[in-house]
Structure 1
């Protein structure tokens, strides 16, 4: 049998499902049986083995890690076997305590640069948390209530050795080499444990420029290559570029040791007041589905493998239609409504993610109201998870709850005890519980007979298969120096710069005023909404802008031929109070009087940064444009990219990823589950897919 036929046969055999009657014969065992008559010995490629303290075992000329330190080669240690076979063997060796700990995921942070600097050299930023000074009561009091529970007060060693946790969320934004070193410290600790099960590190997005990134949802790009926000990628209307973004981000995460993403949001931006619109790819379910497919393939590949970043697509079945735009992190936003009858349109991006092979899916906290489904949070909703997601949509991967639905966002199950919530979530189909480190309650639920132990085994099996597919049992370690070289390298930044330019949308261009001559005297100011008490927000006048030839920036409108005002409002999820949400600029800490004053003095280019579909009638009206020569939209970009468009070095190419309401009344009257392009005549100031060029 030639090598081509051998490869085709092997790839075909490995697609049998776990519960197939052929499962025990899949992979090398079945292949050996079929090839035995040919008298041909199977050749394998020796993988790189990363280890610190383990012994190696040599069998048939190949090397294997003795993960459980018993001196013999167990099936789960044998990389020649399929992930399913290895997982079944390891599962049989795990205690209930180990299984329960493996089904828990919570935030685990390194010491971090700030605390390392404050330690006077006693600690490094990449240190595990043993010995660090815990957060003070004053610091904890300043943190939003719901996030406070994300950060366990237990030590790393306790979570590894006592709780048997192996899934962790990293929320700190540190240099790549620091993350890589921290990962290696963590893996070394895991390696020393009896079964040698490695850790898997998960993160929220960290490759985007974001005006309102928050710890619980995303990280603003730092050393990681900075691409446009998700809305900006959508606005660029370039699927090949989006796939390239995902592949470049994959390479960076892989180098740093982050192997899983709590991303991306397949939710639709149908409710303009939702504070998480900036994490979506817009309002059109069909276009978002196309993007999601490219993102999954870019991060994971055609199949999950040793170079993949496994994705957790969220928030099933779509979280964008909260009543009144409120968010279900809070009790006042727990209801998800569908006044337009479009529940099933929300599923299109998730179908695309499933077809592309997404490794995991995360249900949201919300509970559906006015549908055929039970009015409980989606993590507890068996009809949604088991019947719809697994049954109708055919998803066979991991269901990962959002962070905290068993202890804080307990919508629809408030009257149940914690143990009863565990039972309901597990029987609904949830496989891994986020926001909990100590598995003792899950253990008790099994020991007291409330749930079938088979549910636990099925969940652990899914989680183990993912880990074996990612190859972290063979080598969970990374090279910190290599991470620093790969992350944010010049080639990656050059490709991201293309996306930053393409994401900018030109909406109005009176009398072809753009592009402008860069030699004009330009007053350039950013006006940013502030979460602080100052209702005027923050303002910054630019003195220079490297990379834009011949650009002359002046420091006052009186000196200028032209003003460029970049207005950047922010609607933070964690500043919500339950009061009705307004999208007007003045109610989001933009100094409207200041913006008007500048525009009254000098011809102005208005640039709006859209993390939400802002209502801008306080500063711009199509019927009375005043001195406004042009209007542009950004979705997380750089001043350099903006001025390349303004000066004509790059012709604008972006298209709006959503509609923007013409007034606050239009916002109030909108149907939460209906995209702006279907809201009807008179709804939009700027329409979905609108965008000009030169």
Structure 2
């Protein structure tokens, strides 16, 4: 009897190896993905199924020793306890994760780490199911050595979808080289509440622009289908209406109705889903009392049934736990897990919300195994489509050759260049003239590496990032004297030295004043379990951070002594160029009234200093356009350009219109618009409208113009916006060059969610507006549809 027991125990001990030695159908790449999924699912225990839905935090799952990089003991114990299916942010490095340049991973080490984790899963688990590794990739892979691009609000300022697609391909290439399969991004939230801390992560306030940028990002990141070499599949964030929280409080409820939700917030996601985005993340907020992480109407009806989405849905970090926490719509963790899975949320980002809670929910009858199986199938289909069962490993040598290359830096600089927006340029102060002998570069963001990069950025090696000061010095060389004084901090007033800044300005021919905001995390700040920063002060110093996840604001004024510095420098009488580096619209009323030139760079990334210098000295003609309106006061909010009719009337104390409207941006040259021509072609079940015009560069510089097409539905059965963007093209013009420009409108561009809750294009007159911004319309025309066009 004792011998028999020993025999059984021995068999159990070697059962993983027996499983690996057999050629089960799920390991046969000649079979269809459906056949392989069904075979594997049929072999899995409940524990293994539940484990496939767990996505724990990944940066604790490797360890560095004097002998190299390998799987950590914590990882091995976790896998033994629960055979997990995914990891998140394994290669992430920042103050929240406590990973520095020393304790984090270089690209070669990152490849070693992911290979080690995959090897352990294949060799030491019963079924040998590989991991799916998700990484943060909003403006570059959030890992040591990766190229850092401008944040999304700066990307959107390019109004160049081809460039964003190219950028996304670079991000994917770098992350895939070190073992990632899935990139978090793009963020497709409409940012119509600039007090919200995550405005910098968005593409702005307009549905059409956000949709086109998101589509380009997905196309560049994924390619035509998932599983391509050097590609990632994309996770769209945050589903949905996350960017309009009440009071600007991150994660707060969104007060939007179904029509607004469908025509604006959901419509911003739809192009990326149609492009094939393979994953969607639920938002922290609730809509009409239903948290997004338990909203079956959003996840099953809209996303899967109406849009045909075939990928999987993942929670935001701890958002499932938020159902019985902050939202209080579930009485227990078990009920939270059941609500989320039942609503169509497949994967738990945290690795702690499902697990035992799902098993208890099954035992209690709160969910059934068929619902569990459906979620597991979605994850397994993804792994098979990625080819992970055939080869989950990457080349360490290839990682070293691929990440942070000169060619990738060139793309980062191009995105920065095209996103820099000229807001004001009185008397053509810009570009700066060659007869200047001395320049004063002043301000808290003139020579601060991390203030230039934005949130979701890894630690940077010395010399990798070029600041504005360094860019100017490199540009002028020995031809001019460049004097730098910081003057003030972003928030902390204890160390202000405005007198030194004024003295430098008085010695200069021109002042470049660089200020704004910061999302730079530091090791003094404390962080919530979700990764958002806590708003609290250190006893020793006040952080520059006034933006970035968790740093919502009640005002949009420049913080600290920045306005005092601006006023003091202005009092010297020297010409001033204000360069703003920031993550959200800030109050620039005083600057607009008193300073001759203003450049907006948002967070321009690692090559931002070089790009700003090129624009300042005329080596690049600025052509960025604002993707978000800049208010005069928080009292105007919301102030997005395409608000519902009727037109806003003036306030008694300030103008109703924003300081700078959506689409605004100047150039060193001038453009003339002419010969608007509209041809409508109605068919039995559809129509198209061809719009052509001529644009000519009549100025003295070569440059890009962003031609913007807006539409007005003059009479409709439901209230529609006063105008809405329905087309844009960024085109380069040589000095004196004229080009024909063409747009085509179709039913998608004119549809509304009608009174009977169905999509329809209604007959009637539509006004066409073409110009250089939403408030700089150069040409107007109209067309009439003779009948209604119901849409499915």
The TM tier, using the shorter chain, reads 0.7 to 0.9
What residue in structure 1 maps to residue 271 of structure 2? 352
CA distance in 1: counterparts of 2:647 and 2:82, whole angstroms: 50
The 3-state SS of whatever aligns with 1:109 is helix
Question: In 2 relative to 1, CA 521–581 (structure 1 residues): closer, same or farther, beyond 3 Å?
Answer: same
Superposed, 1:568-647 pairs within 5 Å as 568-570=516-518, 574-576=533-535, 581-586=553-558, 588-589=559-560, 591-601=562-572, 602-617=574-589, 619-622=590-593, 625=594, 628-637=595-604, 638-647=608-617
**What is the CA-CA distance between 1:294 and the residue it aligns to?**
1.2
Q: For residues 590 and 611 of structure 1, do their structure 2 counterparts lie closer, same or farther at Cα, with a shift above 3 Å needed?
A: farther
Provide Cα deviations, 1:584-621, integer angstroms capped at 9, x if missing partner.
334x445321232223223210111241111223x414
The CA distance in 1 between the partners of 2:313 and 2:552, in whole Å, is 33
Residue 146 of structure 2 corresponds to which residue in structure 1? 224
The answer on whether the counterparts of 2:92 and 2:136 sit within 8 Å (CA) in structure 1 is no
Change beyond 3 A, Cα 1:541–1:362: closer
What is residue 757 of structure 2 aligned with on the other side? none
2:72 is aligned with 1:129: yes
CA distance in 1, matches of 2:328, 2:265: 24
Does the C-alpha gap of structure 1 residues 567 and 67 become closer, same or farther in structure 2, counting only changes over 3 Å? farther
Q: How does 1:309-320 map to 2 (within 5 A)?
A: 309-320=232-243
Show the counterpart of 1:79.
29
Please list the CA deviations of residues 127-160 of structure 1 after superposition, one character each: whole Å capped at 9, or x if unmatched. Answer: 4333xxxxxxxxxxxxxxxxxxxxxxxx111222
Q: SS state of the match for residue 337, structure 1?
A: coil
Cα offsets for 1:363-399 (capped at 9, x unmatched): 1111113xxxxx1211111222222222222223211
Displacement of 1:580 after TM fit?
8.2
Q: What is the CA–CA distance in structure 2 between the aligned matches of 1:466 and 1:233, rounded to whole Å?
A: 29
**How far did 1:464 drift?**
0.5
Q: Identify the residue that residue 283 of structure 2 maps to in structure 1.
A: 364
Match of 1:175 in 2: 106
Question: Is the counterpart of residue 651 in structure 1 residue 621 in structure 2?
Answer: yes
Superposition deviation, residue 245 in structure 1:
0.6
Give, in whole Å, the separation in 1 of the partners of 2:19 and 2:445. Answer: 57
**Aligned partners of 1:491, 1:676: CA distance in 2, in Å?**
47
Q: What are the within-5 Å matches in structure 2 for residues 107-146 of structure 1?
A: 107-110=57-60, 122=66, 124=68, 126-130=69-73
* 1:498 pairs with one of 414, 431, 452: 414
Structure 2 matches for 1:55-454, cutoff 5 A? 69=19, 71-110=21-60, 122=66, 124=68, 126-130=69-73, 155-170=74-89, 172-173=92-93, 174-192=105-123, 193-205=125-137, 207-208=139-140, 219=142, 223-307=145-229, 308-328=231-251, 333=252, 335-338=253-256, 342-344=260-262, 345-369=264-288, 375-408=289-322, 410-437=325-352, 439-454=355-370
Deviates more, 1:545-554 or 1:357-366: 545-554
CA distance 1:658–1:242, change in 2 (3 Å): same
Deviation at 1:504, TM superposition (A): 0.3
CA contact (8 A) 2:533 2:551 kept: no
Q: Within 1, Cα distance between the matches of 2:67 and 2:568? A: 51
Give me the whole-angstrom Cα distance separating, in 1, the residues matched to 2:470 and 2:551: 39
Contact 2:61 2:75 in 1 (8 A): no
RMSD: 3.0
Shift of 1:455: 0.7
Deviation per CA, 1:13-39: give whole Å up to 9, x if none.
xxxxxxxxxxxxxxxxxxxxxxxxxxx
TM-score, reference length from structure 2:
0.67
What residue ranges of structure 2 are gaps of 5+ in the alignment?
A: 1-15, 94-104, 449-466, 485-503, 522-531, 537-549, 651-655, 669-792
Alignment equivalent of 1:684, drawn from 627, 645, 658: 658
Q: Distance in 1 between matches of 2:31 and 2:649?
A: 57
Aligned to 2:483: 554
Could you say what secondary structure the match of 1:203 adopts? strand
Larger CA deviation: 383-392 vs 271-280: 383-392
Aligned residue for 2:588, secondary structure, equals: coil
Q: Which has the higher contact order (CA 8 A, sep 6+)?
A: 1
Given that 1:67 and 1:191 are in contact with CA atoms closer than 8 Å, whether structure 2 keeps it comes out as no
Change (3 A) 1:673 1:319: farther
Q: Greater shift after overlay, 460-469 or 428-437? A: 428-437
**Cα shift at 1:636:** 1.8
The answer as to whether partners of 2:222 and 2:228 remain within 8 angstroms in 1 is no
Matched, 1:467 2:383: yes
Distance 1:195 1:546, change over 3 A: farther
- Mapped partners of 1:82, 1:340: distance in 2: 40
Distance 2:194 2:610 in 1: 28
Deviation at 1:680, TM superposition (A): 7.1
C-alpha offsets along residues 493-519 of structure 1, whole Å, 9 cap, x if unaligned? Answer: 112211111110001001111100355
Q: 2:450 matched to 1:527?
A: no
Distance 1:325 1:180, change over 3 A: same
The answer to whether the Cα contact below 8 Å between 1:177 and 1:483 also exists between their aligned partners in 2 is yes
SS in 2 for 1:689: coil
| Structure 1 residues 378 and 67: CA distance shift in structure 2, 3 A | farther
Distance 1:205 1:128, change over 3 A: same
State the TM-score, normalizing by the size of structure 1.
Answer: 0.76
Question: Quick one: structure 1 residues 629 and 287, their matched pair in 2 at CA, closer, same or farther if it must change by over 3 Å?
Answer: same
CA contact (8 A) 2:250 2:552 kept: no
* Residue 29 (structure 1) aligns with: none
Distance 2:317 2:167 in 1: 27
Rounded Cα–Cα distance in structure 2 between residues aligned with 1:595 and 1:693: 24
Q: Answer yes or no: is 1:665 the counterpart of 2:583.
A: no
C-alpha change, 1:227 and 1:544, in structure 2 (3 Å) is: closer
Change (3 A) 1:197 1:365: same
Contact 1:659 1:677 survives alignment (8 Å): no
Cα deviation digits, residues 60-85 of structure 1 (max 9, x gap): xxxxxx99645432211111222222
Q: CA deviation at 1:436?
A: 2.4
C-alpha distance in 1, partners of 2:428/2:18?
Answer: 71
Alpha carbons 1:520, 1:562 under 8 Å: kept: no
Distance 2:225 2:26 in 1: 21
Shift of 1:248: 1.3
**Worse overlay, 655-664 or 170-179:** 170-179
Give the Cα separation in 2 of the matches to 1:81 and 1:71: 19
